[in-house]
């Protein structure tokens, strides 16, 4: 049974349009153990992803993606010239992992954080909890489905 996730990205850094253009990408640069553990231990090919724009105006869920390759070492941690270089990581002990994701769709209207907060059905979502700073987090199936429905009925 597929699982569901939410991945955060600053659109100025990498947006849903970038993913659409690239068709797929590797989710490199995650340097938080809990986020890494989700990717390494729990994410599987075929899992659904809510693509979230953070630090944006407004922030919110921009579209859907899917996991297309399970966790493998994040090589940016091994490159001293890379912004995400981590001297604690090595070929033998890579520490940091990443998954590959594939583009699925862009919502015709972004579902803003403010809007997400309005639905009591979604109040349990990790991303809506105060001070939630995780960049990779699990999503309940019911929440995922609810958001899919919201995206399909929303019109401006």
**CA 144 to mean position of chain CA atoms:** 13
CB of 38 to DNA, least distance (A): 13
Instruction: Give the residue with the Cβ less far from DNA, 45 or 126.
Output: 126
The secondary structure element, H or E, covering residue 21 is: helix 16-22
Q: Given the rule CB under 7 A, which of 15-23, 39-47, 72-80, 130-138 is the region that contacts DNA?
A: 130-138
Q: Which of 14, 56, 105, 119 binds DNA (CB under 7 A)?
A: 56
Q: Which of 68, 95, 102, 113 binds DNA (CB under 7 A)?
A: 113
Find the binding residues for DNA in span 69-108 (CB under 7 A). Answer: none
Whether the CB-CB separation of 125 and 116 falls below 8 Å is answered with yes
How many helices (DSSP H) and strands (DSSP E) are in the chain?
Answer: 4, 6
Whether the CB-CB separation of 91 and 77 falls below 8 Å is answered with no
32 binds DNA (CB under 7 A): yes
130 binds DNA (CB under 7 A): yes
Instruction: Give the residue with the Cβ less far from DNA, 1 or 60.
Output: 60
* Residue located via tokens 């270089």: 85
Rounded to 5°, angle at Cα 129 from 148 and 67:
45
DSSP code, position 1 = -
Q: How far apart are CA 128 and CA 117, in angstroms?
A: 7
CB of 91 to DNA, least distance (A): 20
Q: Given the rule CB under 7 A, which of 37-45, 97-105, 127-135, 144-152 is the region that contacts DNA?
A: 127-135
CB of 1 to DNA, least distance (A): 27
SS3 category, 142:
helix
Residues in contact with DNA by the rule CB under 7 A: 8, 10, 31-34, 54-56, 59, 113-114, 130-135
């Amino acid at each position: 049974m597929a699982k569901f996730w939410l991945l955060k990205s600053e659109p100025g850094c990498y947006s849903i349009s970038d993913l659409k253009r690239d068709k797929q990408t590797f989710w490199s640069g995650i340097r938080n153990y809990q986020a890494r553990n989700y990717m390494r231990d729990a994410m599987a090919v075929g899992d659904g992803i809510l693509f979230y724009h953070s630090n944006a105006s407004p922030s919110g869920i921009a579209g859907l993606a899917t996991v297309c390759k399970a966790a493998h070492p994040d090589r940016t941690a091994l490159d001293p010239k890379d912004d995400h270089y981590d001297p604690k990581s090595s070929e033998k002990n890579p520490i940091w992992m990443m998954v590959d994701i594939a583009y699925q769709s862009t919502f015709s209207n972004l579902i803003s954080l403010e809007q997400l907060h309005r639905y009591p059905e979604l109040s349990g979502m990790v991303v809506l909890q105060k001070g939630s700073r995780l960049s990779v987090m699990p999503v309940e199936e019911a929440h995922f489905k609810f958001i899919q429905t919201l995206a399909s009925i929303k019109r401006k």
